[in-house]
A and B are shown apart, each in its own frame.
Chain A
Amino acid sequence: MSDDTETPGNTETLPLDSWHRRKGARMVLFAGYEMPIQFEGIVVEHNWVREQAGLFDVSHMGQVMVSGDKAAEELEKLLPGAIASLKPGRTRYSLLMAEDGGILDDLMVTNATPWIEGDEEEGTEGRWGEPAYYLVVNGATKWDDIAHLREHLDDDVTLTHMDDRALLALQGPNAATALNRVMRNVIDDMVFMDSVRYDFGEWPLRITRSGYTGEDGFEISVPEEFAESLADRLCAEIEVRPVGLGARDSLRLEAGLPLYGHDITTETDPVSADLGFALTKRRREEGGWMGHEAVARVLADGPQQKRVGLAIDGRMPAREGALVYSGDKQVGRVTSGGFSPTLERPIAMAYIDTGFTDEGTELEVEVRKKRLPAKVAALPFVPHRYHRGK
């Protein structure tokens, strides 16, 4: 037997390390940390998240606060999204762009500007405090991201790496029910991509209704010293079980969400990656952000390839690197693929030459010299069930 999973060596541990081990996790090396790949088994955990609620530890991800009067306009020099129009308490998906139009990272940006209550006795009214933006970036890229931000953001802007915080993700159709039982009335009015600061007793939390599974759910930032207690409280709810990175990957693949370093890289641009929604119309036209010139060229000329979904016949999965053919012509390459527990069939994401990307186009994927029939499929493979309110 051979197994290409990295085994733990001399690496860093995260705040919940011993908690995972007590829960029976199998640990692997990921992004420089020992992380739980699975607890009971990937398929069981995957299905549990689709039906109930799973608790993921994603503390390897980078949490960064960018604050200052010019924070929004400074961030807009590096991100193609509209940051200045992002309202306090709202979150948006965005990209950290390279000059040549490549993608340095994908991230979530939250307007975390604090509201300062007024004081009737002093006669002051409530007002917004200093503008602040909370970023969550990928674990494997966080050090480069922070260096990039420090290099390019104006000196008037303060960047804080919140490396004393853990990040938990509670995901699944029963995530809200479970969380509401633990902290009453905190999340009632929240819809997808809303974010609040909340003091749960003495624990200063940030709760964002977002995630990486396609399900309703929450990402909770918590000081590391309280992470275990919070994880225990959440897992005490009957709907909640711990879930590892293995299921996180199969869930996000079904949800059509790209994985940085695989489906998007410094070699891919946002247009080819089919992430046009992250390029706000105004900013796409006006520019003023790193990489705009290169991306504008792709927008004008049209991309040569596009990221699409592939539904593969049979049961044999096609993995990253598998070549895609139309007849004898190679028309693309798989960037991530695996077996979908929900659909019980192999699925993949691939970059395919323009002209072969229409939904339903019949292609073939080569795996170990065999050609597997595949069809271009709409993303997501499994419909998103975000809570968007009424």
Chain B
Amino acid sequence: MARYFTEEHEWIDLEGDTATVGITDYAQEQLGDIVFVELPEIGMVIDKGKDAAVVESVKAASDVYAPISGEVMEANPALEDDPALVNTAPEEDGWFFKMTVSDKSQLEGLMDAKAYKSFCNEL
């Protein structure tokens, strides 16, 4: 399984033709206490760079953009009862949604863990 990272602080796990998407530890740290996550509806087709989810912290709402294009297959039901999972386990149990991958070439140019780490260090 390969994990990719975007400059918008999302991670993507690719398994076959399915991608699991979440936000990174760096992102949750910046957002602070997360009180609500609005996830996309199952079956929704999302385009790379367009709104896919909204994260509400105590202080503000922040958009999460689709890192790649595809169709939403599953939204993490655990976030409904416990949105703080995004704070406590952002890169594991706090995943946002699973989607199909319409165009694998969109993954080219994304960062791996090492590249993302040095990207964050420069922020």
Query: Which residues of A approach B to under 8 Å, CB–CB?
Result: 1-5, 37-38, 41-43, 46, 246, 249-250, 315-317, 319, 338-339, 341, 368
Contact = CB atoms under 8 A, between A and B. Distances in A.
Contacts of B57: 42
Interface of B: 8-10, 23, 27, 30-33, 35-36, 38, 54-65, 83
A250 to B, nearest CB: 6
Contacts of B59: 5, 37, 42, 246, 249-250, 338
B9 A339 contact: no
B32 A339 contact: no
Contacts of B30: 1, 3
A42 B61 contact: no
Contact of A317 (B27, B35, B62): B35
B54 A368 contact: yes
Contact of A341 (B10, B55, B58, B65): B58
A37 B107 CA distance: 36
Given A315-B36, A339-B36, A368-B38, A3 B58 contact: no
Q: By CB atoms of chain A within 10 A, which of B9, B38, B57, B59 has the most?
A: B59
A4 B60 CA distance: 8
Kindly list the 8 A-B residue pairs having the minimum CB-CB distance in the complex, ordered from nearest: A339-B35, A43-B33, A42-B58, A315-B36, A1-B9, A2-B63, A316-B36, A1-B8
11 contacts: A3-B30, A42-B33, A42-B59, A246-B58, A315-B35, A317-B56, A319-B60, A319-B61, A339-B58, A341-B58, A368-B38
Contacts of A46: 58
Contacts of A41: 32-33
A42 B32 contact: yes
B54 to A, nearest CB: 7
Contact of A43 (B27, B54, B58, B62): B58
Given A1-B30, A42-B33, A246-B32, 18 more contacts: A1-B9, A1-B27, A1-B64, A3-B30, A3-B31, A3-B62, A4-B62, A41-B32, A42-B32, A42-B57, A43-B33, A246-B58, A249-B59, A315-B35, A316-B36, A317-B36, A317-B56, A338-B58
B38 A316 contact: yes
Contacts of A246: 32, 58-59
Contacts of A4: 60, 62
B36 A3 contact: no
Contacts of A38: 32
A368 B10 CA distance: 22
Nearest to A3: B62
A5 B60 contact: yes
A316 B9 CA distance: 23
B13 to A, nearest CB: 18
Nearest to B8: A1
A73 B30 CA distance: 50
Q: By CB atoms of chain A within 10 A, which of B10, B33, B58, B65 has the most?
A: B58
Contacts of A3: 30-31, 60, 62
A38 B65 CA distance: 26
B17 to A, nearest CB: 25
Nearest to B61: A319
A366 B9 CA distance: 29
Given A246-B59, A315-B83, A316-B38, A1 B23 contact: yes
Given A1-B8, A1-B10, A315-B83, A250 B35 contact: no
Given A1-B23, A339-B56, A368-B38, A317 B33 contact: no
Nearest to B56: A317
A6 B28 CA distance: 17
Contact of B56 (A5, A42, A316): A316
Contacts of B83: 315
A341 B35 CA distance: 9
A250 B60 CA distance: 11
